């Protein structure tokens, strides 16, 4: 059965059969992204750190190549104006993410990581929508992974932080997702990931499964499904990478503004995007992407008001990363 599965992936890369093989695969990973949407409210930092050193490298070479010890990034995502259900006017939103991670290996099998991440959502909406103008997350990331053998790696990531509008800071702002995962290399081309996430302090689905797969039919092509991200990547040379994918965005935040009518707000959306990444020089990467956001919604808890649905909108993204 495993041989037939890998053979079908390989045949799907042939030009004459590409459409027959890629269309069902694309439908499958879009469906999995929809089922995994709730992960966005608690696991963005865990997802990024689990993927940072191995998602875009071949399984056979990832154990041999030494990943960068420092990873610093700045990313901004700007959404176009869109209408709000039951309210007049339009909503615009901008996301800003900055942070750094430090990785070090006490021995060839054991890797530790630590870092600091900050994210901001700026929201410009009509006053009668009663939405916060900004939402923040400041988190410390601590994690580790241990390679039991050439095929199996176990990992743990903890990301305690403050999620709120920052109008005040209290113990209720604390959210602390904990992820425990295993990564298994089935073959030189196929790697599977599975685990469990528990989000301390989250009110929406605090316990969630993490399931993912990475398949590399060649050194240039990479297909990823589920956790930590979903998409198709083409790397024609050492300095350029194209990608097409789907992701989910969101987060849960504590509110300290009584005029909003709720103590907790969550934002959810689904995103289809495509982009390109360049290696400008050794250790410096620039990424540009664009896409479409849909299924957008602000969910209120611990209050009496209704949820707010936001219309779909295009978005653009710019990211700069330094590795050393």
Tens-digit pLDDT profile for the chain (324 aa)? 444 433 433 344 343 333 444 444 443 443 344 344 444 444 555 555 555 444 444 433 334 456 679 999 999 999 999 999 888 889 999 999 999 999 999 999 999 999 999 999 999 999 999 999 999 999 999 999 999 999 999 999 999 999 999 999 999 999 999 999 999 999 999 999 999 999 999 988 788 889 999 999 999 999 999 876 799 999 999 999 999 999 988 899 999 999 999 999 999 999 999 999 999 999 999 999 999 999 999 999 988 889 999 999 999 999 999 999
Q: How many domains does the chain have?
A: 1
| DSSP assignment letter at 91 | E
Calpha distance 205→259 (Å, rounded):
26
Calpha distance 324→249 (Å, rounded):
28
The pTM for the full model equals 0.82
The string of DSSP letters for 149-190 reads SSSEEEEEEE--EEEE-SSS--GGGEEEEEEEEEEEE-SSSE
pLDDT at residue 308, rounded to an integer: 95
Structural contact between residues 213 and 187, judged by C-beta atoms closer than 8 angstroms = no
SS3 call for 54: coil
Domain span at 162: 2-323
Structural contact between residues 305 and 288, judged by C-beta atoms closer than 8 angstroms = no
Q: 211: domain CATH number? A: 2.40.160.40
């Amino acid at each position: 059965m495993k041989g037939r599965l890998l053979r079908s992936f390989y045949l799907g890369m042939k030009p004459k059969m590409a459409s027959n093989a890629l269309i069902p695969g694309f439908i499958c990973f879009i469906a999995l992204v929809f089922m995994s949407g709730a992960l966005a409210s608690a696991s963005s930092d865990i997802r990024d750190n689990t993927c940072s050193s191995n998602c875009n490298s071949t399984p056979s070479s990832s154990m041999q190549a030494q990943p960068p010890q420092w990873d610093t990034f700045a990313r901004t995502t700007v959404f176009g104006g869109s209408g709000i259900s039951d309210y007049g006017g339009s909503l615009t939103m901008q996301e800003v993410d900055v942070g750094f991670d430090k990785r070090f290996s006490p021995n060839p099998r054991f890797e530790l990581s630590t870092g600091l991440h900050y994210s901001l959502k700026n929201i410009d909406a009509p006053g009668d929508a009663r939405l916060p103008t900004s939402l923040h997350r400041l988190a410390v990331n601590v994690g580790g992974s241990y390679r039991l053998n050439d095929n199996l790696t176990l990992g743990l990531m903890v990301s305690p932080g403050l999620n709120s509008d920052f109008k005040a800071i209290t113990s209720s702002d604390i959210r602390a997702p904990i992820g425990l995962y295993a990564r298994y290399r089935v073959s030189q081309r196929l790697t599977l990931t599975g685990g469990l996430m528990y989000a301390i302090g989250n009110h929406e689905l605090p316990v969630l499964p993490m399931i993912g797969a990475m398949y590399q039919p060649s050194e240039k092509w990479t297909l990823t499904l589920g956790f930590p991200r979903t998409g198709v990547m083409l790397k024609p040379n050492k300095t350029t990478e194209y990608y097409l994918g789907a992701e989910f965005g969101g987060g849960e935040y504590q509110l300290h503004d009584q005029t909003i009518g709720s103590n907790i707000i969550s934002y959810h959306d689904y995103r289809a995007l495509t982009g390109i990444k360049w290696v400008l020089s050794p250790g410096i990467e620039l990424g540009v992407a664009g896409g479409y956001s849909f299924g957008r919604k602000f969910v209120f808890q611990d209050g009496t008001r209704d949820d707010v649905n936001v219309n779909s909108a295009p978005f653009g993204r710019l990211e700069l990363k330094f590795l050393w």
